[in-house]
Amino acid sequence: MPETKTEQRSVRALPLVGAPVADAIKREVAAEAAGLKAAGVVPCLATVLVGDDPASAVYVRNKVRACEELGLLSERYDLPAGTTMDELLALVRSLNAREEVDGILVQLPLPRGTDEARVLDAIDPAKDVDGFHPVNVGRLSLGQPSLVPCTPAGVIELLARAGVEMRGAHACVVGRSNIVGRPAAQLLLQQDATVTVCHSRTRDLCSVTREADILVAAAGRIGLVRGEHIKPGATVIDVGVNKLDDENLARELFEGEEAERRVEIIRRRGFTLVGDVHPAEAAAVAGRLTPVPGGVGLLTIAMLMRNTLKAAKRRVNGDG
């Protein structure tokens, strides 16, 4: 039977924050990029933004800034929302053909009516730093070297650098998206974890997730994973990024000063970012817990930079 709140452990979960790991990865990338530059090679990332979605513009700006900070070149292509498929595909093909461009990132989502799959398939797999091309997806599933989706790769880095034992552990991934859930499961398998993938059709979700030593929540649903879903002492990785505009729900998810801080953010900005895990309940049961924001999300750009560096190294000498 699930523990009641009075039966839950009095020890609070240790926060598993992303900033130190992201900073360490960025330092490593900067050092390697400097070495390549000394040999006359500068890794280059080309970002393509179609339309005027504000969130997408912020993401692209952050990626360009990261390149500048780490000594990578960046090329940014801002296209109007009315850009045709032929025009977009022509740009992708031109970037494929340029040897000095190591990574190509087409920012998603694309405007309605654009065939995203066709655009992503057009990217050279060797330059697919998002890791979404079918060739890279296939290589990942076979355990072969590939460019891996950045957020799942960040999950593995966070676990590894925090000293969380994955070999032999039971890992459960809640969510089966091609962007996070499926690749996260594949990467955990490669770390010799025993992996279960849950989704919206999983029967008795609690009975499955409570067996997990490592629980990865990536379903896109606010507060889906509650205390009753978590094995006492488990490591819980919350990949969800959801906008919450309900003050009452914010007070239910958080406790004390944090609840009031979140309510104030909602009043000021209109929303606050929360994950797929109920933070107050999870903190009373889990051993380690990533915050949202401040957890896995901080690693995504760091891993993108590392993928760009990896693509450049392969261009130069087949390494990486």
Catalytic residue positions? 63, 107, 130
Q: How many CB atoms lie within 10 A of CB 187?
A: 24
Token couple for 285: 């049961």
Residue length of the chain: 320
Token couple for 304: 């993108």
C-alpha 225/C-alpha 230 separation (Å) is 8
C-alpha 309/C-alpha 233 separation (Å) is 36
C-alpha 201/C-alpha 70 separation (Å) is 43
Q: Report whether 161 contacts 24 (CB < 8 A).
A: yes
Residue 237 phi, psi (nearest 5): -110, 115
What are the distances in angstroms from CA 217 to CA 134, 171, 224, 258, 279?
24, 11, 8, 21, 12
Token couple for 268: 């000021």
**Alpha-helical regions (H) of 98-204:** 116-122, 134-141, 150-161, 181-190
Q: Report whether 295 contacts 17 (CB < 8 A).
A: yes
C-alpha closest to that of 178 among 136, 132, 145: 132
Token couple for 67: 């390149």
Of all helices (H) and strands (E), which one includes residue 207?
Answer: helix 205-209
